[in-house]
Structure 1
């Protein structure tokens, strides 16, 4: 069997943590920021983990992850 290629778009968006989970950045932080509160924008800066429902999909896109 040949090696499975990594989906490069996914590799740029997700990183693997030490415990094998996937870290991701939050959405809605690129434009239309005037109406969003400072607290909301501050919380959007923080990274979070991929949801359990999406974990399998991300794992398939990153075979070496």
Structure 2
């Protein structure tokens, strides 16, 4: 059986932490940015952890196990 290919768009959008959790960037961070407050712009700098309901799908797209048991 051949190897599974990594979904490259997913690989670019998600980073894996040292503990194996995927993190993502926030949406709305670049469009119409001058209208947004300083507080909101600061919050865009932080990455978010992916919800547990989506981790399984990201694992399939990346072709690797992420959660450590």
| Gap runs ≥5 in structure 2 | none
Deviating above 2 A after TM superposition, structure 1's stretches of 4 or more consecutive aligned residues are none
**Counterpart mapping for 1:24-35 below 5 A:** 24-35=24-35
- Count of aligned pairs between the two proteins: 65
- TM-score, structure 2 normalization: 0.83
Secondary structure at 2:33 match in 1: coil
Q: Unaligned regions of 5+ residues in structure 1, if any?
A: none
| TM-score, length basis structure 1 | 0.87
